[in-house]
Amino acid sequence: MSTYSSASDQGSIYSSPGRQDYQVGAGTTMSNASTINTTSLPALLQSLRSHTINTLPALRRTERLIASLPASTPNKAEIAKALHDAWIYYVDYHSLLNELRGLTKTYPFSESCLEEAKRGVSKGSGNYCYGVLRRVRDHRLIPTHARALAAKPVMWGGRKPSSSEVQKLAAACEAEWTRVLTMVLRHWEG
């Protein structure tokens, strides 16, 4: 089981929380230090394969850690492949959607928006999660999906909303979703 803790529990999980420790296997703890000893690599590999490293911050930390390993590190390619597969699992099995929805409490993030973005990103190139999030932003998928959600009668107790109501709700959804998307993209861009 993944343990994500911080010396400071203040602020969002996407703020700079300071030193982070998490377990990668029975009794093995890793930090966000730039080095890792080779005896921890099998535990890291197992944790990636079993999806116990399963949050965006933990996966990003692991990604940075693996990138910092020397090319001569035993099994580096195997670990990098396991990380790549972990990102795909994270996106495809709704962990990304659940994290986004956890951050958008007033207007839960649109599943259809993420699904559309996923259809346009190759799983074989680069970081799949980053690609999906960039596609949402770069292809301006949020406004389209916010309007579609706002126009649904189910959002209005079964009645057809006025165009003014649709615009107001769409604007609120768009603002909240865009704020969270920007915050999450800072893991790579900020």
For residue 114, the model assigns a pLDDT of: 97
Dihedral sign for Cα 16, 21, 24, 30, please.
positive
- Tokens matching residue 63: 């990604």
Nearest to 82 by CA among 69, 61, 63: 63
**Furthest-apart CA atoms within the chain: distance in Å:** 64
Q: pTM to 2 decimals? A: 0.80
In the prediction, which pLDDT does 82 show? 96
Contact of 140 with 165, CB cutoff 8 Å: no
* Weakly modelled stretches of the chain, pLDDT under 70: 1-39
Enumerate residues 6+ apart whose C-beta is below 8 A from 175. none
Q: What is the pLDDT of residue 10?
A: 39
Tokens of 19: 């030193």
Q: Per DSSP, which regions of the chain are E strands?
A: 5-6, 20-25, 28-31
From CA 179, how far away is CA 44, in angstroms rounded?
32
Residue 10 one-letter amino acid:
Q
- For residue 93, give every residue at least 6 positions away whose Cβ sits within 8 Å of its Cβ, in sequence order, or none: none
Supply the pLDDT for residue 79.
Answer: 93
